[in-house]
Structures are given as C-alpha cells and as structure tokens.
Chains A and B, each alone.
Chain A
C-alpha cells in the first residue's frame, strides 16, 4: 500500500486530549470527531490539512487516555499515516485495530520538516522525502499485524478466524 501527502509536524508527548478533547467525547460519530481533530494543539489544523497528508511527530505520540476516538478522528480527517519517533502503546494498538497506518522512525521524525512531500510504502516501511530527496527506513508491520490491517481491522480478523 502506497501513501503520499504533505507533512504536518508536531513535537513530543502529543496526548489524546489534544488530538480529540474530552468535551467532544459525548459522541462517537467519526465525522463529528474528525472536525475537532488536533483542535487543542492547533485550532486551525482541519482548515490547513488536505486528505492524504501525514502527521510527523516526535516521541510518545498519543499518550494519555485510551480513547479510540483519537486515532479515529485522525483517520476520518483524512490523514493517511502518522510517523513518530515513538508511540504510546494504547494509541499504537488502537491505530492498528482501526486500520490507521502508523510508523516508528527516529530518523524520519528528526529530518522531515513541515510541508515536505512524502511517499510511503507500508509493506516495506520505506519513507521517501520527495522534497529533500531522502529515504528513511521504518520497521514494517509484522505478519499478524499486516493480516489485521488487510482484513480491515481487528474485528474482521477475529470474526474471520471464528468462522
């Protein structure tokens, strides 16, 4: 699966309250959640970004609450992938489970700048920076995670194994 888009940069420890504030958790409607994506860290984010764009952050992205509303808001907003130096574990797991591609790469997180055009090959974990003409290698997903994603999320994977 190939992804392409423009990079939006964020710093360390971006937490799920910033990704989707709890005042919007009285709904689980994905479109409603997406309309407030990243609101408390960048109120203008949804106006600036375009579908396919890529979030690039530093360490511990998605820390805090276990709310699946956070990766759901990012995915529904049209972000095609999140790249970070590291992810908080519940966010990482939730992203895989709902089919939001995420990649860990210290080099990519350090070198990519806001606005850079990126191209990602999920199967190999290769991130191409077209603006800077650089290539970074992220860890590709292990087999069972690829299966979860190719099944369209954890639930489909579970149900296909039950049957």
Chain B
C-alpha cells in the first residue's frame, strides 16, 4: 500500500520508512510557532518546568500579531513577556510591531515554512502552511512549550480525506469560495482529526494565495491539517524565499483515503457563510437584503495582496454605502507596502474605507472593529461564531474579498455582479 503526502512527511520526521494512519509517532519539528496570546502561557509553562534553553533558536518563530500595536495595558504586558523571552533566548525569528504581520501570511512570505516541513503552531490556523506541501497543525500553549524544549511533538498519524476539484471557476470565485462550499458540504466536524488533501485541475489552477486560504480553513471543518502537493506554482513561490533546503513529496497513486469527494467548481458561485457556523454556507444568489454595518477585508485567511487587488478592483470609482464602515487590513508590512505602490490603499481610502496596520484585531473580536449589539458584518475572516467579532448579539457573515467589497458599496450582502 502506498502512502499519502501526509504519511510520507510524518514518516520522514519520525525517522521511519513508513507510517500508518492511527500510528502514534514522535516527530521532529522544523518550525515551532506561537503568538502574543498563546506564547505567554507557553513561556510560563516552560519556566515552571525548569527549562533553561530552547532546542534551536532558529526554529522557533514568535509573532506579535493578535493584539498589537497593543490595545490595552494587559495585552501590552503579555506582549512584553513574549518580547523579553525572545531577547533572553535570542530567538532569530521574533516579529514585533514594524516587521510583524499576521503570522500565517508572514511565515510563507518570509520563506520560514517550506515544502516537506513539519510545523507545530500554537494557533489553530497553523494548518495554512499545508498549501506549501508541509505537514502543519495547530496546538495549544503547553504543546508549544514542550516543543520549544525538545524540538519534537507526538502525533497520531491522521487518516486522509481527498477532495478533488475540477472544472473552470466562475468569475469572482476564489479559494475562499471553494473552501466555504466544502465546509458547507461536510460540516464543521466533517474532517475531525483528518488530513484534508486538496487536489485536481482546479487546485492546480489556483494561485498560492488562494491555496493558502483553502488550507487555512481546514480547521473550520475540524481537520488536523490541509495539504496541497507542491507544483510549479508552489516552487515559483518558495524558490526566491527559501534560505535552506526543502523536500517535495506527493501521494502515491495507491495511497489510502478514508473518503474521496469531488467538486465541479464551474457550478460553485461566490459563497457566504451565515451566522453562527462556517458550515452555514449558501451561494450569494440565495442571500437577499441582508443589510450590513461593517465590512472587514483582511486576516490570515484573506489579507494577502491578491485579496486586496480583488477588493480594489471592485471598489475603484465607488463610494462605500454611508451606513457601512469598511476596514481593510493588509496582512503583512510588505503586502501593505506593495498595496501602497499599486495604488490600492488610495482606492480604499477614496472609497471611504479605513486601512489598518497588520493585526488579527477584529477577526476574533479583539479590537479595531468590534461590533455593537445587533450589528452585522460581512467579513473575509474565518469564523462566524456567536459574538466572534464583538457583542454576543452581533452577527458575522463570511465571504471572499469580492463579495465583501461589493457588499460595502451596496450596504447589504451582495455579489459584485450587482454593481
């Protein structure tokens, strides 16, 4: 029996010829990641355990991205705890205000995660890096602390589900719409504990940005990881960024999958996930007259340059609806700079939007766009749980950047075709 790409990567990191789904392994880690919310608990645990040094200062990545520039004294204390730790242990890849970005946009951009890697991150959206052909999964702070000490983590080798996408995408359909459609199909626990492998001609046709978006939301179906085997698009992306070697893996033709599903993308319209679960997805054509108070374009899901370009393309020459607040958040400093050069920032501001420094802020209801009671937002983020963006009686609708931008102009959830 052949192996999936996930089995191959895990076997290589466990020092084994092969591994089977269900097997418990100890795997070496190439990257160990945490942020300003998850690192503090991990660092406290690290110290409590009496640990004196980290396993490799070059393989730990710490990013202040959730509540920075700090929103209040308490969050400033948390970030300082992480900053002090990074200095004490001379962590090479520590990112603070000025060079930070939203972690899951930043790490691929900086070439810190490469094909064939095994990554453990104390953030649920660590699954994003599967788009580079890496095994990458989210954990909590204690796993992160242990990994900082040993450079290893135990895993149960996941079974894999294969999702084959074929056909040609309709206009305005991006990776976000494909993954929302998929989550609508299998549900928020449809891939619980599983590796989700995305493949097929329609995936080959996707940009790196859209692929990162798809793998980013594997967790929203309960998945342990999302993964796309590297191809020319991947290699073009990593070649100029990589400062170390990497390995390309792909699934064997006779690899075992617990489930295979196929999607004809030519039939998928832009999607919207209604409150209060990402699985409540419907095509935009079924959403009528839902007025909005806020539109958010950004996050680790959709804050990349391609997302901003799509939004700007729609917003150019338009004013946003007077009842709507549009918040655009480029995910990293270099995306921000490039958006500036390309005139995208100007388009957002002229349309009546505001542009923020990179932050996770509103996505998790942290700051920078909190909703009041009864308010409603369309957002390119990843979760629409009750109270996710603010008051427990506010609502979040999820979409890709095209629908979010069009909705900002029309004041209600709408397709770009309606402009």
**A-side interface residues toward B, CB under 8 Å?**
13, 15, 17-18, 21-23, 25-28, 40-41, 59-60, 63-69, 71-72, 86, 88-90, 93-94, 97-98, 144, 153-156, 158-159, 162
Contact = CB atoms under 8 A, between A and B. Distances in A.
22 contacts: A15-B383, A18-B386, A18-B387, A22-B364, A26-B72, A28-B40, A40-B392, A60-B188, A64-B124, A64-B383, A64-B385, A65-B124, A67-B140, A88-B192, A90-B140, A93-B139, A94-B140, A94-B141, A155-B142, A158-B149, A159-B50, A162-B150
B75 A69 contact: no
Contacts of A67: 37-38, 140
B189 interface: yes
B129 interface: no
Given A67-B140, A154-B146, A162-B150, A89 B193 contact: yes
Chain B interface category by residue count: 35 or more
A60 B192 contact: yes
Interface of B: 24, 37-38, 40-41, 44-46, 48-51, 66-67, 71-72, 74-75, 78, 122-124, 126, 138-143, 145-146, 149-150, 154, 188-189, 192-193, 219, 222, 224, 277, 364-366, 383, 385-388, 392
B78 A27 contact: yes
Nearest to A13: B188
A154 B145 CA distance: 9
A22 B138 CA distance: 17
A17 B392 CA distance: 10
A13 B40 CA distance: 27
Contacts of B123: 66
A62 to B, nearest CB: 11
Contacts of A88: 189, 192, 222
B142 A68 contact: yes
B143 to A, nearest CB: 6
Contacts of B38: 66-68
B124 A23 contact: no
Contacts of B385: 15, 17-18, 64
Contact of B192 (A17, A86, A154): A86
Contact of A26 (B48, B50, B75): B75
A154 B152 CA distance: 13
B146 A28 contact: no
Contact of B143 (A27, A60, A65, A93): A93
A16 to B, nearest CB: 8
A9 B49 CA distance: 35
B67 A26 contact: yes
Contacts of A97: 140, 142-143, 146
**What are the nearest 10 A-B pairs in CB distance?**
A94-B140, A68-B140, A26-B74, A97-B142, A60-B189, A66-B124, A155-B49, A22-B364, A26-B75, A68-B141
Contacts of A72: 41
